[in-house]
Amino acid sequence: MSSKRRHWDPESPEEIAELLDTISDKIPSLIRGIMESFFSPEAASNMGKAVAEFRKTLIEGGISEDEAMEMTREYLRTLTNWQGMMREARTRSHRE
């Protein structure tokens, strides 16, 4: 689509083709960027720091050691579930 603003005609095959071309160009790089943000060494380091800080904050806040450890495990499960969903989406997109 041109840089000028114009009325989009959803029934125009040319405009639909142009829209699909744009989407097919943009979506893979967007997904790749998201995946890299979850699975890079930097992301792993940040996750480790976040989990350690979470546990430390709980203990400093008066939560017992055992309860803080369980809450930290649950926090880590939540973080890794997000990673698992992203990995599954990537695998599924490669199969399709």
In a domain, 19, yes or no: no
Total domain count, the chain: 1
Q: How far apart are CA 52 and CA 73, in angstroms?
A: 11
Phi/psi for 10 (5° steps) reads -65, -10
Q: How far apart are CA 84 and CA 37, in angstroms?
A: 13
Give the DSSP letter of residue 3.
Answer: S
Interval 26-55: pLDDT, tens:
888 888 887 777 778 888 898 899 999 999
Interval 72-87: pLDDT, tens:
999 998 887 876 676 6
In a domain, 26, yes or no: no
Across 19-24, average pLDDT: 85
In a domain, 65, yes or no: yes
Q: What pLDDT score does 3 carry?
A: 56
3-state helix, strand, coil in the chain (%, to 5): 80, 0, 20
Domain carrying residue 57: 41-96
Residue with the two structure tokens 């926090």: 75
pTM beyond 0.75? no
Q: What pLDDT score does 70 carry?
A: 97
